[in-house]
Amino acid sequence: MDRKELELYLNDLLQAPRFRDYCPNGLQVQGRETVSHIVTGVTASLALVEAAIDARADAILVHHGYFWNGEDARIVGQKHARLKAILAHDVNLFAYHLPLDAHPELGNNAQLGALLGIDPKGRFGDDELGWIGELPQPTTLAAFAETVSARLERAPLVIGDLDRPVRTVGWCTGGAQGWFDAAVAAGVDVYLSGEASEQTTHLARESGVAYIGAGHHATERGGVRALGNHLAERFGVRHTFIDIPNPV
């Protein structure tokens, strides 16, 4: 398909213009005009870029791209190495951050909720990026944490009484531990995100609401993979998801 056609479709599908984000969403690095093979991954690290080049991809589609607010604008060091590789091989780089978190079907939160068997019931937070839902039946924090570990193939950080009953879950993938207060106010039994900060422990202990830190990378693999599969089905392009392991 044509690069411009792909860009316009993705911007419309993910409603990219409506988000005030920390980085530019959409086509970040221009490459060849025709796209027949798309590689997806969580972050446009040098390892992913090199793997995509080895796979002869025409485009790389990620959740974490480049040009973040406040970063050094100079093209030096690792930024130079990444961009040099992309430009030398004429590969397109597309990145969607908050728009990919928010999409109601293909987004990171939607995909994580489906993976964990949570029935969505509502939203909270800025741009309604936080999700609230219910488990099919009440369980314990320990049992739910075991489900998270098995589905994400990663042992999570769990803060709270392992024997406490849980049914209502709040979640937001990635580095959304700052929304724990909002989740507590929304009345959830447990809040799940990717990371934890020092104050997260105190809030969990004092509020009585459990917290699960399931991994920034692990919680954000679903959206970009689902988006790539969607593009392959709709446009007949080849899609390859490449997971670069990350313990964080």
Q: How far apart, in whole angstroms, are the C-alpha atoms of residue 45 and residue 50?
A: 9
Q: How far apart, in whole angstroms, are the C-alpha atoms of residue 71 and residue 69?
A: 6
Ramachandran bin of 191, using left for φ above 0, alpha for ψ from -120 to 50, beta for the remaining angles: beta
Q: Does 89 belong to an annotated binding site? A: no
Phi, psi values for residue 207, rounded to 5°: -85, -25
Q: Would you say the C-alpha torsion 216, 218, 223, 224 has a positive or negative sign?
A: positive
Beta strands in 96-164 (DSSP E): 119-124, 130-140, 157-159
Q: Does 64 belong to an annotated binding site? A: yes
Q: Does 101 belong to an annotated binding site? A: yes
Q: Does 220 belong to an annotated binding site? A: yes
Q: How far apart, in whole angstroms, are the C-alpha atoms of residue 143 and residue 162?
A: 8
Pick out the residues of the known binding site: 63-64, 101, 216, 220
Residues annotated in the binding site for a divalent metal cation, as ranges?
Answer: 63-64, 101, 216, 220
